[in-house]
Structure 1
């Protein structure tokens, strides 16, 4: 039974309509489903999504008060999705799937019956070549556009596996879970669980040198910095203890001992944002200690 498309939309009033319009040429059929997960928006994304849903009966809008992609992912996988559908496609509301990209993701599952996840490749962006090389060489899933099989959805549900709330870079954690065959630990040799579909691609608008895009770039680097520390601390714990060590909230991993070992990267641009991230983590931990001491 067809496709189910999950679109993560947070403050995407500039891009959401173009994303939806691109679905038809990408392979969306008349009996497929589209779920727009509007989460924590402060712009007109919700109104645009509602208008699009009125014009297309395949579209259903879900309103989530918390602006958090990991939480939205949990909502779709554990509550919204149906395992009667074979292929579940995930994409960000600011990208556009290229022609036949959805069909190719679905076809890849047909050709690779053992795969749980299929990743698409970028065809725009200044770093698209190095980005694509990483996806191909490391069997990595990019969160911009990918697909999970119904079997994968079932394994997440039956195993009670949720993304930690607040996690940055849920695609990296998803890749790790699939490559360790839903167990965690140090054995990430289950490469057959992920396929890279070279015929499925996505496009997006590159940032320009204007004030709004500069603000977006700063927010992105801030997010990348926090993702770096999350990956370092969380994955070390998961490799030792398995997926049972996944926290409900990502900030639970920032213990005083973990923060004490945090060091900034040496790249001139990274070090600025890393130092700020470490400062914020220490401040949050200090505030947490004061609350507990009063209790």
Structure 2
């Protein structure tokens, strides 16, 4: 691995309670071939940035850069890294700010991805905890899925994304699904996966604290997660009608169409999920209107 350098980018939105643990886990799971580690704090209104800077000083983590952007949107943060910050190292890891990483996972995954054929462009971090662990492992192994908690991407695929001018639309929900489809179809978003686009290492990946029904913050997180996934599925119907080259850079026009025909588009949902999606959609639309 003499020349096999890698970057890590961590996306953080109001993660003051988790980010010290996650940054420390990155620090303990990397080696000398780590090139740069970015924490992109997108639209944080809490102490995420100051906590991250404090951990950097505490660990003497010179390769860590805290990059703050005003807009609180993960798609915009992903676009910022892929199109502006990523440099020509071999592998680029994308991670969330509320998970922990298995020992030496980054060099192990970088070496595995580097050794794969050219058509393999993603290595999925394996989920190592959770109530539905077997199901999510099956998605990685049998359906070539990967999750935003941890995945690695070849530099050649980032070049391909840039050449195609592929951007995730701001306000897009259910991001993992769209990135999985993008990778497995080489950005064509066809109905069939191309072979051998993803790989993984069994036992190498991430874990996290289980949500508790006794913590209000965990209950809110769970509700937001459901609403995000269900709204993303509806957004997907609209985006599937367009070639990715014609995707809007911002989902607001599509969200307005969803709002205008909300009852018909959500008739498959029960009343509780319907209210969750309505609340999330309204929040996104109000945010877009207030930014004008």
Which TM-score applies when normalising by structure 1? 0.85
**Residue 280 of structure 1, CA deviation:** 7.0
The more displaced of 24-33 and 65-74 is 24-33
Pair 1:38-2:38 in alignment = no
| Distance across 1 between alignment mates of 2:173 and 2:6 | 27
Query: 1:1-295 counterparts in 2 under 5 A?
Result: 1=3, 2-29=5-32, 31-54=34-57, 55-83=60-88, 85-114=89-118, 115-184=120-189, 186-208=190-212, 209-234=214-239, 236-237=240-241, 241-254=242-255, 256=257, 260=261, 261-266=264-269, 268=270, 271-278=271-278
**Residue 37 of structure 1, CA deviation:** 0.3
| Distance across 2 between alignment mates of 1:26 and 1:283 | 37
Runs of 4+ with >6 A deviation: 282-285
Gaps (5+ residues) in structure 2? none
Gaps (5+ residues) in structure 1? 289-295
Q: Which residue of 2 aligns with 1:292?
A: none
**Residue 157 of structure 1, CA deviation:** 0.9
- Per-residue deviation, residues 139-196 of structure 1 (Å, max 9, x unmatched): 0111110011000110111111111001112221111111111223x34321322223
Give the 3 Å change call, closer, same or farther, for CA 204–230 of structure 1 in structure 2. Answer: same
| Distance across 1 between alignment mates of 2:276 and 2:207 | 32
| Distance across 1 between alignment mates of 2:125 and 2:107 | 11
Give the 3 Å change call, closer, same or farther, for CA 170–276 of structure 1 in structure 2. Answer: closer
Do the aligned residues in 2 keep the contact of 1:39 with 1:67 (CA within 8 Å)? yes
Which TM-score applies when normalising by structure 2? 0.86
Kindly indicate which of the two structures has a greater share of residues assigned to helix: 1
Give the 3 Å change call, closer, same or farther, for CA 197–259 of structure 1 in structure 2. Answer: farther
Aligned residue pairs, count: 279
